[in-house]
């Protein structure tokens, strides 16, 4: 899954704007805040779901019978894929 796959549907945006209008919130900044907060929640939940799904997959090629969330090597590979691995001093 990529970030673009978590963008809320046009229908959901319309529903949020209708809900804002129903509550008397018609100022643009408030509408933008409502939309972006709803979008952030969608993306945040999708990220958690993606992470749980990954961790529940079996470790491949390191140790039999464990899941990726139990495998230090799978974890390090995932961090590297995300660019979050601890790099040694002087490395880019
Ligand atoms: Zn592994």
Question: What DSSP string runs through 11-31?
Answer: HHHHHHHHHHHHTT---HHHH
Residues 63 and 33 in one domain: no
In this prediction, residue 1 has a pLDDT band, given cuts at 50, 70 and 90, of confident
Residues of the domain holding 19 = 1-55
Q: Phi/psi at 56 (nearest 5 deg)?
A: -90, -5
Q: What is the pLDDT of residues 12-64, one digit of tens each?
A: 999 999 999 999 999 999 999 999 999 999 999 999 999 999 999 999 899 99
59 touches 68 (CB < 8 A)? yes
CA–centroid distance, 82 to ligand 1, in Å, is: 16
Rounded to two decimals, the pTM is 0.76
Residues 51 and 75 in one domain: no
CA–centroid distance, 86 to ligand 1, in Å, is: 18
Residues 12 and 26 in one domain: yes
Residues 50 and 68 in one domain: no
Residues 40 and 22 in one domain: yes
Number of domains in the chain: 2
| pLDDT, position 61 | 92
CA–centroid distance, 48 to ligand 1, in Å, is: 20
CA–centroid distance, 80 to ligand 1, in Å, is: 14
Residues 72 and 47 in one domain: no
Alpha-carbon distance 52 to 76, whole Å?
16
């Amino acid at each position: 899954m990529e970030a673009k796959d978590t963008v809320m549907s046009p229908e959901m945006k319309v529903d949020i704007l209708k809900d804002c209008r129903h509550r008397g919130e018609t100022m643009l900044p408030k509408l933008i805040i409502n939309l972006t907060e709803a979008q952030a929640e969608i993306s945040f939940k999708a990220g958690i779901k993606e992470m749980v799904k990954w961790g529940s997959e079996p470790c491949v090629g390191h140790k039999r019978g464990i899941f990726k969330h139990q495998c230090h090597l799978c974890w390090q590979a995932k961090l590297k894929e995300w660019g979050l691995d601890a790099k040694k001093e002087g490395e880019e």
